Structure 1
């Protein structure tokens, strides 16, 4: 009984720390940061993203601003913050800060496929 209680608590703690897989994803590109649609200045070295307009929903700041996401691509993962809107991105796509893009791919590639989800 004691073991099953400890095991259940461990599983619950792990589930709370793991993002829920919603299957968002698609193309990742990068852009020069600055004053974002969320109303704050950012630097190219920050791990931030511009969320596609359909998921950004609009507003100033939009309801998705400042939310953390987890990104998976090319055998790597990173956590980033939604700080801007990408009007040219399709649903599921993200525009990444240059340093975040560099984490996953060579900037000369200009694009890569990724998946992402919100961090709980």
Structure 2
């Protein structure tokens, strides 16, 4: 699910170290390349990417860098999403006995979540927090408390209409003419500053597994 105000086809897979056990999932990034600066978001985990590395999907590569696979200078850093109002999305299969939520557009990532007073547990490497409460959840009255990476807390009471409309990201429509089967890209960089320049290249592979 893309954060409010962003193009859903412009997303990256974050390296393992800076994925921060899913707390970077859905965070927004400002990425600058030869073709300009674009705000994108984290939608996946790249296990094999080292610290500072990003794996860009096809649409983002052509928007920020463009052209055939080659070395290119870029820079990137985390940035607040355009609309900082939290959006909640439930995981398919959620029910009164087992419930899981994610927050696609938090300002600085989610560190913790409580659902109806029960501390949520992250599902694997996803950004979903799950609970199995002793008392059944009223799906039309879900009390949620989230804590950001900076320790900022916020609360919400959700109805099903507040969390049920959450289409996932899809790279299948983002390829452009001249690509080979939706090729994705890898960017090597660092987060020490937005003005420093680093290198980027387009990877010769396609990521097929998305964790959120």
TM-score range, shorter chain: 0.5 to 0.7
Query: Between Structure 1 and Structure 2, whose CA radius of gyration is higher?
Result: 2
Q: Structure 1: how far apart are the matches of 2:20 and 2:9?
A: 23
Greater relative CO, 1 or 2 (CA 8 Å, sep 6+)? 1
Question: Which sections of structure 1, spanning at least 5 residues, go unmatched?
Answer: 1-39
**How many angstroms apart in 1 are the aligned matches of 2:64 and 2:40?**
13
The answer for the alignment partner of 1:56 in structure 2 is 19
- CA drift of 1:114 comes to 1.9
Please identify which structure carries the higher helix content.
Answer: 1
What TM-score do you get using the length of structure 2 for normalisation?
A: 0.32
| CA–CA distance in structure 2, aligned partners of residues 107 and 87 of structure 1 | 26
SS in 2 for 1:99: helix
Structure 2, unmatched stretches of 5+, are 2-7, 81-212
Whole-Å Cα distance in 2 between the matches of residues 96 and 63 of structure 1?
Answer: 19
Residue 26 of structure 1 corresponds to: none
Map of 1:118 onto structure 2: 78
Look up the match of 2:63: 103
Name the CA distance, whole Å, in 2 between partners of 1:46 and 1:64: 18
Cα distance, 1:106 vs. partner? 3.5
The partner residue of 1:76 within 21, 36, 56 is: 36
Change (3 A) 1:108 1:71: same
TM-aligned CA deviation for residue 104 of structure 1: 2.4
After superposition, the C-alpha distances for 1:29-75 in whole angstroms (9 at most, x for unaligned) are xxxxxxxxxxx6xxxx71000000010022xxx11111111001115
* Aligned partner of residue 60 in structure 2, secondary structure: helix
Query: Matched residue pairs, number?
Result: 75
Instruction: Give 1:1-120 correspondences, 5 Å limit.
Output: 46-58=9-21, 62-106=22-66, 108-109=68-69, 112-120=72-80
Quickly say closer, same or farther: Cα 1:119–1:48, change in 2 above 3 A: same
TM-score where L is the length of structure 1: 0.54
